[in-house]
């Protein structure tokens, strides 16, 4: 998408058209000015900006060349010919872009944009699991760091997890590190799930058929949503349609009307006609969907936020391009092994 030919006034108008119901005008003017400077610099430096669906609305609607969920951005990162990739998302996403583009400069605007799932498991943990379950393939959620991906056979995102597990065509799979995503995928793929961190070594044999071996990682945001939240929302708004990310507990997913990746939830709102929706995910995404669907009402529980995604601001992104900071590096032997797991996922879709 060519945006840098736009004047500052033109960019402000485009943002106002989308966001006047979501962002106050004085803030929009300030942010449009920042976004204009970023887009100018982006062109000068032959950079591409990838923006996750959780970016705050003014950033989301002004500077990214591509927006999407983890899977879509992974695919974009695999095909870009820009010299610099600025990843407006969290560190594991920027690392995945670097894994796929060793020759490019990959920048993340804040060094503090972590993820509770990525921090829940180490490469040593995965090696230990592999030694306890020899020969069992390891499926790793992309919300992990490169050294964990490097120990894995294949990666997945929330958008393709069940497909990736099914593609392996085996009865036993190690699925890391999100406990709730694992439980949700086990349900979708007809597998029983065990947690060896808490259970003794399981006995071998027929009873282990169709088994998934999980880990106790959790998203600090999605684990907070409860079935009671849904019941209260439905009591107040009987016609509300509830959407939950698959990092929510299986009970919350079961009480919802739809569960899917951030892109799948966005598409669901676009293709259905309910008057209002409750989004059980990071609240900025509700603003972004509301901006694109002005006739639909988005209810969101904004007391629950992802502090890591919130680290990425227009100010930090401008500084990132001005100062070439913060450069994401992945050690080459780790990168090569992690790239295999990511590429295998991309081939599956």
Residues in the site for ligand 13P, rule: CB under 6 A?
53, 69-70, 143, 157-159, 219, 245, 247, 261-262
Contact in structure between 317 and 110 (CB atoms under 8 Å): no
The nearer residue to ligand 13P, 159 or 214, going by C-beta atoms, is 159
**Alpha carbon of 329 to those of 95, 280, 313: distances in Å?**
7, 33, 21
Q: Is 244 in the site for ligand SF4 (CB under 6 A)?
A: no
53 binds, among ligand SF4, ligand 13P, none (CB under 5 to 8 A by kind): ligand 13P
Phi then psi for residue 149, to 5 deg, are: -60, -35
Q: Least distance in Å: CB of 4 to ligand SF4?
A: 29
Kindly provide the b/e burial profile for residues 275-290, where b requires at least 16 CB atoms within 10 angstroms of the residue's own CB: eebbbbbbbbbbbbbb
The nearer residue to ligand 13P, 101 or 262, going by C-beta atoms, is 262
DSSP string for residues in 188-245:
HHT-EEE-TTTSPPPPPSGGGTTEEE---B--TTGGG--HHHHHHHHHH-TTPEEEE-
Q: Where in 306-335 is the site for ligand SF4 (CB under 6 A)?
A: 306, 308-309
The nearer residue to ligand 13P, 69 or 151, going by C-beta atoms, is 69
Q: Which helix (H) or strand (E) holds 277?
A: strand 276-280
Which listed residue (47, 117, 263, 328) binds ligand SF4 by CB under 6 A?
117
Q: Is 181 in the site for ligand SF4 (CB under 6 A)?
A: no
Which listed residue (49, 221, 334, 345) binds ligand SF4 by CB under 6 A?
221
Q: Least distance in Å: CB of 25 to ligand 13P?
A: 30
What track of x and - describes contact with ligand SF4 for positions 13 through 52 (by CB under 6 A)?
A: ----------------------------------------
Phi then psi for residue 221, to 5 deg, are: -90, -60
Encoded tokens for 151: 């120990």
Residues that bind ligand SF4 (CB under 6 A): 90, 115-117, 143, 219-221, 247, 282, 306, 308-309
């Amino acid at each position: 998408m060519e945006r840098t030919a736009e004047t500052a006034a033109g960019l402000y108008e485009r943002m106002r058209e989308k966001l006047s119901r979501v962002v106050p005008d004085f803030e929009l003017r300030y942010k449009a000015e920042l976004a204009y400077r970023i887009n100018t610099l982006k062109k000068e430096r032959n950079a591409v900006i990838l923006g996750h669906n959780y970016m705050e609305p003014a950033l989301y609607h002004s500077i990214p060349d591509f927006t999407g969920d983890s899977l879509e951005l992974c695919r974009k990162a695999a095909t870009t010919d820009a010299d610099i990739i600025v990843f407006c998302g969290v560190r594991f996403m920027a690392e995945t872009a670097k894994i796929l583009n060793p020759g490019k400069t990959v920048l993340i605007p804040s060094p503090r944009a972590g993820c509770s799932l990525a921090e829940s498991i180490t490469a040593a943990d995965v090696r230990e699991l592999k030694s306890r379950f020899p020969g069992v393939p390891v499926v790793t959620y992309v919300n992990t760091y490169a050294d964990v991906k490097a120990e894995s056979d294949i990666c997945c995102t929330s958008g393709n997890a069940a497909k990736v597990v099914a593609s392996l065509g085996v009865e036993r799979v190690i699925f890391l590190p999100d406990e709730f995503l694992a439980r949700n995928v086990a349900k979708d793929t007809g597998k029983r799930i065990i947690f060896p961190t808490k259970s003794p070594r399981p006995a071998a044999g027929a009873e282990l058929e169709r088994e998934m071996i999980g880990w106790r990682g959790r998203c600090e945001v999605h684990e907070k949503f409860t079935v009671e939240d849904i019941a209260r929302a439905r009591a107040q708004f009987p016609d509300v349609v509830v959407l939950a990310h698959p990092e929510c507990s299986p009970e919350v997913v079961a009480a919802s009307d739809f569960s899917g990746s951030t892109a799948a939830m966005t598409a669901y709102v676009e293709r259905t006609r309910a008057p209002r929706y409750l989004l059980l995910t990071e609240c900025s995404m509700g603003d972004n969907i509301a901006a694109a669907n002005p006739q639909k009402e988005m209810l969101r529980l904004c007391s629950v936020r992802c502090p890591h995604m919130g680290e990425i601001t227009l100010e930090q992104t401008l500084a990132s391009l001005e100062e070439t900071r913060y450069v994401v590096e992945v050690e080459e032997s780790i990168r090569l092994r992690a790239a295999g797991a990511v590429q295998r996922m991309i081939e599956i879709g």
